């Protein structure tokens, strides 16, 4: 093939790495559409080519694309249809698509009745013509990077509908490569292991993925050889690794906030003034709001003995609150407030007394007959025998 023909075909059929042209014209929604304005500067894009309006396979495809719009949105991707008809026919076709598939198209369907853009993109099937004898487009798919360059192309004949699961899969793979610098093996699915790029030696791979961040395949051609780069190395899906890292960071942040939390002074107890057994809910006189107030409890409300044991760590305390709340429903609110508001008091008691859970007093409390009493004892007594005031 001579140089002129090669360059001509390349101009007619943009390929991977080429800049996709801006589409200016009409859609079913507007007569001043710009593909670049629609995509913006940060979104990925997918353009679907369709042979024509009111064609059966295209009708099902556009309904499928609309049903997956949330999936594309989750991948920071905007979709755009393309068909060689005018806006009025597009609008009428949209009604048919909704009736046939239950999906109302809200993404743009570009109009190219003069085939101007189809010629520029080189997406014609010479064997496929409409009723007027004009050539129609094949089912091409262009996936665009945020910089408007073509990341991937697919071309289906007019008789075969597109596989949208595959389009989502390759979009995931492209974004893994773009955002994390990994390759994907045959039949890869999100969550499967990815591949360390071939142009990265083992030292660079360790810097990027960690010393134990990838697995080297045991290959006969590499056995017994010292090499700087093993060519087949697997690493975890970076999305999963990144998600776990973010979750760990969020958890650490939450734990840090909990540890640094202190209740306001209005909630701090006064020594000797309140205890859990001397609180109950009563109806206030101002504005009809319920208030918590100290009162002298009836013996049947709570029977807390004097031989109490130390306050355990926060996790045990929270479990105790839950257990006691289940057995004494009217006290659920009080116990919850008590746990939240008096956490710093408990921390101070723990630091001052430094009582271990293996003490004789603790074991003795656990062996008592009444399980509820044993639970409550764990709240209100330190090792010195003085009451931890709530």
Annotated catalytic residues are 58
Q: Distance between CA 35 and CA 39 in Å, rounded?
A: 6
What are all long-range contacts of 68-76, with beta carbons under 8 Å and residues at least 24 apart? 68/164, 68/168, 69/106, 69/107, 71/168, 72/46, 72/168, 72/171, 75/44, 75/168, 75/171, 75/172, 75/175, 76/42, 76/43, 76/44
Q: First-to-last CA distance in the chain?
A: 90
Question: Which residues are bridge partners to 155 per DSSP?
Answer: 140
Q: Edge to edge, what strands does the sheet with 194-195 contain?
A: 194-195, 233-235, 215-216
Q: Distance between CA 331 and CA 325 in Å, rounded?
A: 6
How would you label 2-30 residue by residue, b for 16+ Cβ within 10 Å and e otherwise? eeeeeeeeeeeebeeeeebeebebbbbee
Locus of tokens 């100290």: 294
Locus of tokens 């075969």: 160
Q: Distance between CA 30 and CA 84 in Å, rounded?
A: 16
């Amino acid at each position: 093939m001579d140089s002129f023909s090669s360059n001509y075909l390349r101009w007619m059929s943009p390929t991977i790495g080429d800049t996709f042209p801006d589409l200016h014209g009409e859609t079913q929604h507007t007569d001043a559409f710009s593909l670049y304005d629609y995509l913006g500067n940060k979104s990925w894009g997918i353009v679907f080519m369709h042979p024509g309006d009111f064609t059966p396979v295209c009708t099902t495809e556009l309904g499928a694309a609309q049903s997956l719009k949330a999936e594309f949105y989750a991948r920071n991707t905007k979709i755009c249809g393309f068909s060689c008809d005018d806006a009025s026919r597009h609008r009428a076709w949209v009604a048919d698509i909704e009736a046939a598939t239950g999906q109302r198209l809200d993404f743009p369907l570009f109009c190219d009745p003069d085939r101007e853009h189809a010629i520029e993109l080189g997406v014609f099937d010479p064997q496929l013509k409409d009723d007027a004898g004009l050539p129609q487009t094949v089912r091409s798919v262009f996936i665009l990077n945020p910089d408007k360059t073509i990341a991937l192309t697919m071309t289906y004949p007019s008789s075969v509908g597109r596989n949208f699961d595959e389009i989502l899969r390759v979009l995931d793979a492209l974004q893994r490569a773009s955002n994390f610098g990994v390759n994907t093996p045959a039949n890869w699915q999100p969550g499967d292991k990815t591949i360390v790029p071939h142009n990265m030696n083992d030292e660079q791979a360790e810097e990027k993925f960690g010393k134990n961040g990838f697995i080297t395949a045991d290959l006969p051609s590499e056995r017994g050889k010292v090499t700087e780069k093993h060519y087949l190395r697997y690493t975890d899906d970076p999305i999963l690794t990144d998600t776990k890292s973010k979750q760990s960071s969020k958890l650490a942040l939450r734990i840090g906030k909990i540890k640094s939390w202190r209740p306001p002074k209005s909630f701090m107890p006064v020594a000797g003034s309140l205890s859990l057994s001397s609180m109950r809910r009563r109806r206030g006189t101002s504005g009809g709001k319920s208030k918590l107030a100290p009162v002298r409890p009836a013996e049947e409300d709570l029977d807390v003995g004097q031989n109490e044991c130390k306050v355990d760590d926060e996790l045990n305390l929270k479990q105790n609150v839950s257990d006691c709340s289940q057995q004494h429903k009217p006290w659920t609110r009080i116990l919850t407030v008590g746990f939240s508001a008096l956490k710093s008091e408990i921390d101070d008691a723990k630091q001052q007394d430094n009582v271990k859970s293996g003490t004789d007093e603790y074991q003795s409390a656990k062996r008592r007959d009444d399980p509820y009493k044993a639970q409550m004892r764990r709240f209100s007594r330190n090792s010195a025998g003085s009451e931890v005031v709530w």
